[in-house]
């Protein structure tokens, strides 16, 4: 039975953890390029050079001594996002939507006291949320106001779109939709939904909750499939440019759609997860191998790569 | 390309290891299966002689390599006395003589006793010796008459019948009144041992008396005396007073034969001697290689056995670590267990060696749980990372101390050895557990904790195989094989078993 399942996984081109680490991350991602995506401050700076829009950076807290000046630096901003610069998987992020006498109002409506807020910054600097437990920096950036596009299938929080690009060619994409179970976080491990995206049309497919296929959002009851993402091609272009920007051959690009500013790149990831395959009900390895077999001329510019990917990986040409 | 290089390196490592092992086996005569049923006992005979004794002489029977017994690594401490070794027949008698100083003196004999099963080659005849000297002619006639009735029985049954007869049970061969009276008169006159010897002699069974110890863990003050009776293929050991036959699984260590006392002292009050026997595993190899040692061979000179014993123990443990690491490679990269940290399960598995698996797992779970609760409370205090970890570490040590005391009160050794658990790793694990629970939920936290415990437990069970430990100690070049396997797993890019489950939603919907 197990052997059958393994044969099946292989047949459908499912990429496993070992295969991803050895054949793609280690083979395609130069160690020296990792800091470019592991530190959000560096990523932001690079993105600016490549004309990739990101949420505006308000403030960086580098040293314990700076923490006292945070409130001063915040000025009269009432809403912002506090993040660890080297965090992964959305850990340590606090979204503030307002301020009150008692402190800061979180997106969920809960109030976090000024003291707790400062403590959280201390934790970030100490490296609790950082990738290797190294000392970290905290960043304060503009709060994203999600486009109402996904409002019907989102419980609080900000849905984000993950695109995996291989050798600069977008290979697979999904949108992560927060649920009550995920506490408004777009984290699949915590219970957020992952919905596959048709690469050609930018249209959502069915979603996966845990390991179950679902057709409607568990909290709102609205159907997930059939939502068309505007400016989809732009987002694919952002992912495609990400490879030039970072030099990473195997890259995950996370985007959000801001109601005012349009698509913004949140972060990039040199070790993107494999759950995207479940969301799309398709194997990544098969697509990566097709990219390897593609004619060399398609790799010329981000535009040619995106055009090829949209033609190759639409639902009509599944797998 | 990379894969082929990895396979090539792995093959080279295995070949190199095979060559080294082959050299040891073929040229140096190492055993291929290093644990071929040899047991080693540490024998220590010790006595403290009183102060200011003059012209004292202490004679002790010492073990000799013979039959299944091999004596190695003999060490003698004679204090202020002189020591001489006297060979009487096959026996070795150690004689300590001289005057003791005002502080008294310690006399000590130590040796490693190896027991190897002796192969028996069919039936061998062994003729009975002479009758005990205290036997008169009439006595010889009596025992001959008594034994004649067993003539047609096989040797082992004749031995059993003679033993029974000593305690007055004549079974299916009842005794005439006259003979019974004569026998009951003879036994107290010549002594039970001699009576039994005579009876066995008359029954055509070779028999002799030995003094020595039964190899069992413990301390005794006096050697025992037993009777050997040849049943045609092997010696049976009999209790000389009751005539009962000892269990065949017991191993006897003779110190002296016949009437030579195993312990005698002149010129002093009978000293208190302690015969201490303890089974040992490490020195099994020291002892074994005492005989094999050919120090001109470089691999022998560079063997781990050349280290002093206290360092050997360290290396026995250290050599297990790479095996544990290999287990972690297999369980994480091929099976797909989630664990906190990478090598934490190896350290846990090593610690389980002293706490035992059951207690180890319970302590592990308990410490994580209590640590987590404390960490929850600490969170309210808003401590910075390093001091906060220090508090948790302090707490973990406190829990260890508490468990150790509880273990002492309840007389549970396993709890007392709690201190060997890797406390720093446990502290970091509490923090990791807390962060995972905060960020990815309780389920994810418990999944990781259970995964870690499972990997530690499985690794422990593998490390527990004694054959494996000894094999690695004897052939440290097996480390090359481990490295080869680790390299191969490093290039295993297939699916993990857990991924078959993880992607089952896909499978179901196709």
The whole-angstrom distance between B500's CA and the closest CA on chain A is 6
Give which of A276, A232, A233 is closest to A251, Cα–Cα.
A276
Interface contacts (A, B; CB < 8 Å): 89
Confidence of residue B475 (pLDDT cuts 50, 70, 90): confident
Q: Is B499 close to A9, i.e. CB distance below 8 A?
A: yes
The full DSSP string for B338-353 is --SSSSHHHHHHHHHH
Half-sphere exposure (CA, 13 Å, Cβ side) for B337? Answer: 23
Q: Is A211 close to B507, i.e. CB distance below 8 A?
A: no
> Is the pLDDT score of B138 beyond 70?
yes
Confidence of residue B306 (pLDDT cuts 50, 70, 90): low
Q: How many CB atoms lie within 10 A of CB A62?
A: 15
Residues of chain A whose beta carbon is less than 8 angstroms from a beta carbon of chain B are 2, 5-6, 8-10, 12, 14, 16-19, 21-23, 27, 89, 91, 115-116, 119, 122-123, 126-129, 187, 189-191, 208, 211-213, 274, 277-278, 281
Interface of B with A in 375-414 (CB under 8 A): 382, 384-386
Q: What is the pLDDT of residue A140?
A: 94
Helix or strand or coil: residue A166? strand
How far is A126 from A92, CA to CA, in rounded Å?
12
Give the pLDDT mean for A51-64. 92
Helix or strand or coil: residue B446? helix
What is chain B's percent helix, strand, coil content, to nearest 5?
Answer: 50, 20, 30
Residues of A with CB below 8 A from B499's CB?
9, 14, 16-17, 274
> Is the pLDDT score of B268 beyond 70?
no
Confidence of residue B39 (pLDDT cuts 50, 70, 90): low
Q: Which residue of A has its CA nearest to B493?
A: A19
Q: Is A277 close to B503, i.e. CB distance below 8 A?
A: yes
B495 interfaces chain A, CB cutoff of 8 Å: yes
Confidence of residue B467 (pLDDT cuts 50, 70, 90): confident
Give me B147's structure tokens. 């034994």
The whole-angstrom distance between B384's CA and the closest CA on chain A is 7
Helix (H) or strand (E) run with residue B425 in it: helix B423-463
Of B490, B493, B497, the CB nearest to A23: B493
Q: How far is CA B38 from CA B41, B118, B313, in A?
A: 10, 11, 19
Give the pLDDT mean for B288-305. 55
Confidence of residue A318 (pLDDT cuts 50, 70, 90): very low
Q: How many CB atoms lie within 10 A of CB B339?
A: 22
Name the least confident of A79-88, A306-315, B41-50: B41-50
Give which of B256, B255, B197 is closest to B228, Cα–Cα.
B197
Give the pLDDT mean for A121-136. 81
Q: Is A9 close to B336, i.e. CB distance below 8 A?
A: no
> Is the pLDDT score of B505 beyond 70?
no
Half-sphere exposure (CA, 13 Å, Cβ side) for A233? Answer: 10
Q: Is B503 close to A126, i.e. CB distance below 8 A?
A: no
Give the pLDDT mean for B245-260. 85
Q: What is the pLDDT of residue B293?
A: 47
B335 interfaces chain A, CB cutoff of 8 Å: no
The full DSSP string for B122-153 is S-------PPPTT--HHHHHHHHHHHHTTTTS
Give me B213's structure tokens. 């110890």
Give the pLDDT mean for B31-42. 63
> Is the pLDDT score of B283 beyond 50?
no
Of A9, A17, A126, the CB nearest to B385: A126
Confidence of residue B294 (pLDDT cuts 50, 70, 90): very low
Q: What is the pLDDT of residue B281?
A: 57
Give which of A141, A126, A137 is closest to A74, Cα–Cα.
A141
DSSP type of residue B105: E
Q: What is the pLDDT of residue B158?
A: 85
List b or e across B84-95, with b for residues whose CB sees 16 or more CB atoms inside 10 angstroms: eeeeeeebbbbe
Q: What is the pLDDT of residue B144?
A: 84
Give which of A279, A282, A277, A154 is closest to A206, Cα–Cα.
A279
What is chain A's percent helix, strand, coil content, to nearest 5?
Answer: 40, 25, 35
Cα B39 from chain centre: 7
Q: How many CB atoms lie within 10 A of CB B439?
A: 19
B493 interfaces chain A, CB cutoff of 8 Å: yes
Give the pLDDT mean for B218-237. 85
Give the pLDDT mean for B273-281. 80
Pick left, alpha or beta for residue B67 (phi over 0 → left; psi -120 to 50 → alpha; otherwise beta).
Answer: left
Confidence of residue B86 (pLDDT cuts 50, 70, 90): confident
pLDDT digits (tens, 9 = 90+) for A218-274: 888 899 999 999 989 999 999 999 999 999 999 999 999 999 999 999 999 999 988
Interface-testing mutation among A1, A2, A5, A94, with chain B (most B C-beta atoms within 10 A): A5
> Is the pLDDT score of A319 beyond 50?
no
Give the pLDDT mean for A180-209. 87
pTM: 0.67
B500 interfaces chain A, CB cutoff of 8 Å: yes
Q: Which residue of A has its CA nearest to B506?
A: A281
> Which residues face B224 on adjacent strands?
B212
Give chain B's mean pLDDT: 81
Q: Is B495 close to A14, i.e. CB distance below 8 A?
A: yes
Q: Is B502 close to A8, i.e. CB distance below 8 A?
A: no
Burial (0-12, 13-18, 19+ Cβ within 10 Å), B275:
buried
pLDDT digits (tens, 9 = 90+) for B153-208: 888 888 888 888 887 777 777 777 888 888 888 888 888 888 888 888 888 888 88
> Percent of chain B having pLDDT more than 90?
11
> Is the pLDDT score of B430 beyond 70?
yes
Contact B58, B49 (CB under 8 A): yes
Q: Is B333 close to A19, i.e. CB distance below 8 A?
A: no
Q: Is B499 close to A16, i.e. CB distance below 8 A?
A: yes
> Is the pLDDT score of B34 beyond 70?
no
Higher pLDDT among residues B108 and A88, named by residue:
B108
Residues of B with CB below 8 A from A6's CB?
494-495, 500
| Strand ordering across the sheet containing B218-220 | B69-77, B105-115, B39-49, B273-280, B218-220
Contact B112, B41 (CB under 8 A): yes
Interface-testing mutation among A1, A18, A93, A182, with chain B (most B C-beta atoms within 10 A): A18
How far is B82 from B78, CA to CA, in rounded Å?
6
The full DSSP string for B271-285 is PPEEEEEEEESHHHH
Helix (H) or strand (E) run with residue B194 in it: helix B192-202
Q: Is A190 close to B386, i.e. CB distance below 8 A?
A: no
> Is the pLDDT score of B347 beyond 70?
yes
Q: Is B506 close to A278, i.e. CB distance below 8 A?
A: yes
Helix or strand or coil: residue B106? strand
How far is A126 from A130, CA to CA, in rounded Å?
9
Confidence of residue B508 (pLDDT cuts 50, 70, 90): low
> Is the pLDDT score of B309 beyond 80?
no
pLDDT digits (tens, 9 = 90+) for B56-73: 888 888 888 877 787 877
pLDDT digits (tens, 9 = 90+) for B321-332: 899 999 999 998
Q: Is B502 close to A115, i.e. CB distance below 8 A?
A: no
Contact A160, A176 (CB under 8 A): yes
Q: What is the pLDDT of residue B308?
A: 67
Q: What is the pLDDT of residue A317?
A: 46
How far is A256 from A35, CA to CA, in rounded Å?
22
Residues of B with CB below 8 A from A123's CB?
385
Confidence of residue B296 (pLDDT cuts 50, 70, 90): very low
SS3 of B153-185: CCHHHHHHHHHHHHCCCCCCCCCCHHHHHHHHH
> Is the pLDDT score of A315 beyond 50?
yes
The whole-angstrom distance between A303's CA and the closest CA on chain B is 32
pLDDT digits (tens, 9 = 90+) for A178-191: 988 887 788 887 78
> Percent of chain B having pLDDT more than 70?
88
Of B382, B493, B509, the CB nearest to A18: B493
Contact A84, A138 (CB under 8 A): yes
B440 interfaces chain A, CB cutoff of 8 Å: yes
Q: What is the pLDDT of residue A233?
A: 93
Give which of A275, A158, A149, A254 is closest to A209, Cα–Cα.
A275
Give the pLDDT mean for B252-269. 81
Helix or strand or coil: residue A132? coil
How far is A123 from A138, CA to CA, in rounded Å?
10
Contact B423, B442 (CB under 8 A): no
């Amino acid at each position: 039975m197990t052997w059958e399942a393994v044969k099946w996984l292989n047949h459908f081109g499912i990429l496993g953890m070992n295969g991803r680490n050895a054949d793609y991350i280690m083979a395609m991602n130069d160690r020296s390029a990792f800091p470019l995506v592991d530190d959000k401050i560096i990523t932001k700076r690079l993105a600016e050079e490549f004309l990739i829009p990101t949420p505006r950076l308000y403030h960086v807290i580098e040293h314990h001594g700076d923490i006292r000046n945070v409130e001063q630096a915040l000025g009269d901003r009432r809403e912002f996002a506090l993040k660890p610069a080297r965090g992964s998987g959305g850990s340590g992020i606090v979204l503030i939507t307002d301020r009150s006498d008692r402190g800061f109002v979180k997106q969920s409506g809960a109030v976090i006291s000024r003291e707790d807020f400062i403590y959280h910054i201390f934790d970030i600097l100490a490296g609790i949320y950082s990738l290797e437990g190294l000392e970290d920096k905290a960043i304060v950036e503009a709060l994203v106001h999600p486009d109402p596009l996904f409002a019907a299938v989102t419980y609080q929080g900000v849905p984000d779109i993950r695109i995996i690009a291989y050798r600069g060619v977008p290979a697979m994409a999904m949108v992560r939709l927060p649920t009550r179970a995920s506490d408004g976080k777009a984290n699949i491990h915590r219970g957020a939904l992952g919905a596959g995206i048709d690469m050609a049309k930018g249209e959502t497919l069915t979603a996966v909750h845990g390991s179950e296929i679902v057709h409607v959002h568990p909290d709102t009851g609205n159907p997930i499939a059939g939502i068309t993402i505007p400016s989809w091609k732009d987002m694919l272009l952002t992912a495609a440019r990400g490879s030039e920007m970072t030099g990473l051959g195997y890259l995950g690009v996370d985007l959000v759609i801001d109601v005012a500013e349009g698509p913004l790149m949140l972060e990039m990831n040199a070790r993107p997860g494999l759950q995207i395959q479940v969301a799309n009900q398709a194997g990544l390895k098969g697509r990566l191998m097709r990219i390897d077999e593609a004619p060399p001329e398609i790799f010329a510019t981000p535009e040619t790569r995106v055009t090829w990917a949209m033609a190759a990986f639409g639902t009509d040409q599944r797998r | 390309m990379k894969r082929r290089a990895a396979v090539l390196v792995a093959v080279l490592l295995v070949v190199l290891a095979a060559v080294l092992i082959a050299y040891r086996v073929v040229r140096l005569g190492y055993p291929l299966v290093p644990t071929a049923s040899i047991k080693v006992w540490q024998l220590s005979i010790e006595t403290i002689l009183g102060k200011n004794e003059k012209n004292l002489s202490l004679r002790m029977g010492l073990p000799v390599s013979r039959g299944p017994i091999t004596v190695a690594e003999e060490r003698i401490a004679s204090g202020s006395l002189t020591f001489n070794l006297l060979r009487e027949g096959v026996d070795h008698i150690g004689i300590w003589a001289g005057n003791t100083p005002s502080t008294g003196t310690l006399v000590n004999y130590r040796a490693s006793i190896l027991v190897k099963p002796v192969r028996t080659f069919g039936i061998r005849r062994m003729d009975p010796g002479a009758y005990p000297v205290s036997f008169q002619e009439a006595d010889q006639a009596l025992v001959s008459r008594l034994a004649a009735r067993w003539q047609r029985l096989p040797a082992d049954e004749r031995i059993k019948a003679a033993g029974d007869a000593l305690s007055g049970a004549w079974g299916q061969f009842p005794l005439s009144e006259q003979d019974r009276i004569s026998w009951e008169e003879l036994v107290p006159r010549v002594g039970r041992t001699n009576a039994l010897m005579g009876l066995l002699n008359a029954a055509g069974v070779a028999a002799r008396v030995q003094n020595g110890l039964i190899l069992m863990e413990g301390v005794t003050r006096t050697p025992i005396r037993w009777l050997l009776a040849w049943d045609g293929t092997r010696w049976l050991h009999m209790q000389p007073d009751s005539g009962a036959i000892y269990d065949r699984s017991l191993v006897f260590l003779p110190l002296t034969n016949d009437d030579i006392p195993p312990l005698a002292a002149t010129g002093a009050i009978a000293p208190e001697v302690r015969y201490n026997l303890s089974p040992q595993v490490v020195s099994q190899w020291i002892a074994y290689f005492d005989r094999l040692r050919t120090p001109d061979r470089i691999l022998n000179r560079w063997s781990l056995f050349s280290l002093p014993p206290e360092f050997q123990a360290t290396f026995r443990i250290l050599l297990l670590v790479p095996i544990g690491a290999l287990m972690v490679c297999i369980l994480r990269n091929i099976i797909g267990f989630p664990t906190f940290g990478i090598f934490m399960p190896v350290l846990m598995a090593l610690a389980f060696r002293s706490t035992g698996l059951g207690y180890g797992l319970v302590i592990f779970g308990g410490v994580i749980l209590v640590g987590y609760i404390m960490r929850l409370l600490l969170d309210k205090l808003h401590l910075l990372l390093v001091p906060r970890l220090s508090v948790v570490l302090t707490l973990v040590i406190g829990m260890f101390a508490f468990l150790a005391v509880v273990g002492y009160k309840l007389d549970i050794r396993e709890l007392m050895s709690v201190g060997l658990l890797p406390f720093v790793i446990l502290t970091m694990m509490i923090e990791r557990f807390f962060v995972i629970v905060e960020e990815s939920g309780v389920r994810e936290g418990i999944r990781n904790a259970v995964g870690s415990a499972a990997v530690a437990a499985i690794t422990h069970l593998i490390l527990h195989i004694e054959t494996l430990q000894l094999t690695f100690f004897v052939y440290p070049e097996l480390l090359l094989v481990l490295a080869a396997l680790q390299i191969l797993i490093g290039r295993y890019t297939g699916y993990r078993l857990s991924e078959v489950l993880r992607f089952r939603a896909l499978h179901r919907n196709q």
